[in-house]
Amino acid sequence: MSSISANLQAVRRTIRDAAQAVSRNPDDVSLLAVSKTFGPDAVLDAATAGQRAFGENYVQEALDKQAALRAVRPELAGALAWHFIGPIQSNKTRSIAEHFDWVHSVDREKIARRLSEQRPADLLPLNVCLQVNISGEATKAGVAPADVAAVARAIAALPRLRLRGLMAIPAPAGTADARRAPFAALRRLLDTLRADGLDLDTLSMGMSADLDAAIAEGATIVRVGTAIFGRRA
Ligand SMILES: *Cc1c(COP(=O)(O)O)cnc(C)c1O
């Protein structure tokens, strides 16, 4: 068994244990394998072990990887879902709209408009999450919590996008309680949007170091890189 396959099993176990600890159904938490900086062979290993959803931060790297996988294993490549999770530059929206199934890192209306306009007509609407600067860090991407409702409404009205929910990358925290607090805040924001009538089902939160805290607070997608593929160079 490859170490990637063993790591995947361990991460799936962590997800199951964290969900069961708070009486959630583990099937309600999906695992996004973050393959940034790792090559097509690593994705192939994970896919062979049953993983289907992959997260990427850099557009050109992701497109090269997708093409390499289509060349060696077209059927398997066709079964994979690609999620863009990195910062989005305006000049990259067309490639993202054409080559991804999900985008987690939408943090302004202008980018959302471009993605909607550029989503090809023969593909399903692009699933998007609004990224929230939940810890209020000066340097971090994301919409301020106070602006989330207005931006979410604007994005939900765009025809070729399907707004699914919220995403955040909280500041690192030392204690278990401190790790849970920002995830709880993101969940409350989602609850507020749903109470206002938006049809949302996704909380994209939790990475290798804090997925259990995120699951305890309601994560529906955890984005895990290091714990599956190892440390990035
Ligand atoms: C790299 C990255 C991850 C994965 O982080 P790990 O700590 O390696 O699990 C998750 N989300 C985003 C947005 C990332 O950029």
pLDDT band at 211 (very low <50, low <70, confident <90, very high): very high
Mean pLDDT of 202-230: 97
Does ligand 1 have an atom closer than 6 angstroms to the CB of 225? yes
Instruction: Inform me whether the pLDDT recorded for 1 exceeds 70.
Output: no
- C-alpha to C-alpha distance for 179 and 182, rounded to whole angstroms: 7
Q: How far is CA 126 from CA 67, 116, 150, 232, in A?
A: 20, 8, 20, 28
**Residue 45 CA to ligand 1 centre (angstroms):** 19
Give the nearest ligand 1 atom to 224 CA.
Answer: 9
| Ligand 1 binding pocket mutation candidate from 30, 88, 203, 207 (most atoms within 8 A of CB) | 207
Contact 33, 12 (CB under 8 A): no
Per-residue pLDDT tens for 23-69? 999 999 999 999 999 999 999 999 999 999 999 999 999 999 999 99
Model confidence, pTM? 0.97
Does ligand 1 have an atom closer than 6 angstroms to the CB of 34? yes
Residue type for 131, please? Q
Per-residue pLDDT tens for 120-161? 999 999 999 999 999 988 888 999 999 999 999 999 999 999
